[in-house]
């Protein structure tokens, strides 16, 4: 039989060995070592001189096959009864290690074929490219940043505008912890993706302590360099804008 197969067509010695087993429909658990070794060596004879480096690992497999073949052909020093007993066990069969490696290789080969099929299926799927939403983004606001002194002054104005609550018998809920308020304010600013007035962060029903907590959260975010504050005009409202992270 003419064998015109190039050695670089196989990914490794196990690939070639597995090809021979499938081609000859050999039972992987009962490998005819003599026949398989002969065919394997015939393949190696087709290796050209410029492929010798590539063939080194294939030659190691050839040596392994020849070693197994010799063990199976040479008479054992043990008597026939012991020899038959060993042959009945996996450890007593010189082919057992090779069989286990071939079974493991077969498993990975099947998985690789599944992955290859999935990759080919993905190539047939055409996804819609992301829509360009750049026109929806708010342009940078050319607003001058304000100082802490300005913030303090504006905050006093906000607090003074807040009318004192009437003396009524009610139980006020505990104010939100500062760390939680920081997250809430930042999340609100990120969602709006535009400038937000400080007064938009609370309502007329908000207590003074909650306004103070909100203001402290704003200061914390400015300190963390997550947002910056500005005024569109002197003595105007505080404008809050998120920074690009």
Which pLDDT value is given to residue 7? Answer: 40
* 63, 91: one domain: yes
pLDDT in tens, 17-76: 666 666 666 665 666 777 777 777 777 776 655 555 555 556 667 677 667 666 666 555
Higher per-residue pLDDT: 202 or 145: 202
Q: Residue 23 falls within a domain, yes or no?
A: yes
Confidence of residue 83 (pLDDT cuts 50, 70, 90): low
Percent of the chain clearing pLDDT 70 (strictly above): 49
Q: Residue 168 falls within a domain, yes or no?
A: no
- Angstrom distance (rounded) from CA 36 to CA 24: 9
* 238, 180: one domain: yes
* 149, 199: one domain: yes
Higher per-residue pLDDT: 17 or 129: 129
* 119, 16: one domain: yes
Question: How many domains is the chain partitioned into structurally?
Answer: 2
- Angstrom distance (rounded) from CA 17 to CA 14: 5
* 186, 226: one domain: yes
Mean pLDDT of 4-15: 49
* 61, 144: one domain: no
- Angstrom distance (rounded) from CA 87 to CA 79: 12
CATH of the domain at 211: 1.10.10.580
* 222, 151: one domain: yes
DSSP for 207-237, written as a single string = -HHHHHHHHHHHHHHHHTTSEEEEESSTT--
Confidence of residue 140 (pLDDT cuts 50, 70, 90): low
* 236, 154: one domain: yes
- Angstrom distance (rounded) from CA 116 to CA 110: 10
* 179, 117: one domain: no
Q: Residue 66 falls within a domain, yes or no?
A: yes
Q: Residue 198 falls within a domain, yes or no?
A: yes
Tokens, residue 212: 């103070």
Provide the domain limits for residue 209. Answer: 138-163+173-242
* 191, 237: one domain: yes
pLDDT in tens, 155-213: 777 777 665 554 544 555 567 788 888 888 888 888 877 777 777 777 777 788 888 88
Which pLDDT value is given to residue 119? Answer: 85
Q: Residue 133 falls within a domain, yes or no?
A: no
* 79, 147: one domain: no
Which pLDDT value is given to residue 243? Answer: 76
Q: Residue 12 falls within a domain, yes or no?
A: yes
56 Cβ contact list (under 8 Å, min separation 6) = none
Q: Residue 193 falls within a domain, yes or no?
A: yes
Q: Residue 226 falls within a domain, yes or no?
A: yes
Which pLDDT value is given to residue 1? Answer: 35
Cα Rg of the chain, angstroms: 40
pLDDT beyond 80 at 224: yes
Poorest-confidence range of 177-181, 185-189, 215-219, 228-232?
228-232
* 16, 97: one domain: yes
């Amino acid at each position: 039989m003419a064998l015109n197969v190039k050695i670089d067509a196989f990914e490794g010695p196990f690939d070639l060995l597995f090809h021979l087993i499938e081609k000859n429909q050999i039972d992987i658990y009962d490998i005819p070592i003599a026949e398989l070794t002969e065919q394997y060596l015939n393949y190696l004879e087709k290796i050209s001189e410029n492929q010798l480096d590539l063939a080194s690992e294939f030659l190691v497999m050839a040596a392994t096959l020849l070693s197994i073949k010799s063990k199976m052909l040479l008479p054992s020093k043990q008597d026939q009864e012991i020899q038959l007993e060993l042959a009945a066990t996996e450890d007593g069969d010189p082919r057992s290690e090779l069989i286990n490696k071939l079974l493991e290789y077969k498993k990975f080969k099947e998985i690789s074929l599944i992955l290859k099929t999935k990759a080919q299926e993905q190539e047939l799927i055409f996804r819609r490219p992301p829509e360009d939403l750049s026109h929806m983004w708010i342009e940078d606001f050319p607003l001058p940043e304000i100082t802490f002194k300005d913030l303090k002054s504006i905050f006093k104005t906000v607090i003074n505008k807040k009318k004192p609550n009437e003396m009524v018998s009610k139980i006020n809920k505990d104010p939100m912890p500062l760390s939680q308020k920081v997250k809430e304010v930042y999340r609100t600013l990120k969602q709006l993706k535009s400038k937000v007035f400080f007064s938009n962060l609370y309502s007329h029903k908000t207590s003074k302590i909650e306004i103070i907590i909100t203001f402290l959260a704003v200061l914390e975010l400015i300190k963390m360099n997550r947002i910056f504050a500005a005024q569109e005009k002197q003595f105007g409202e505080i404008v809050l804008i998120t920074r690009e992270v």
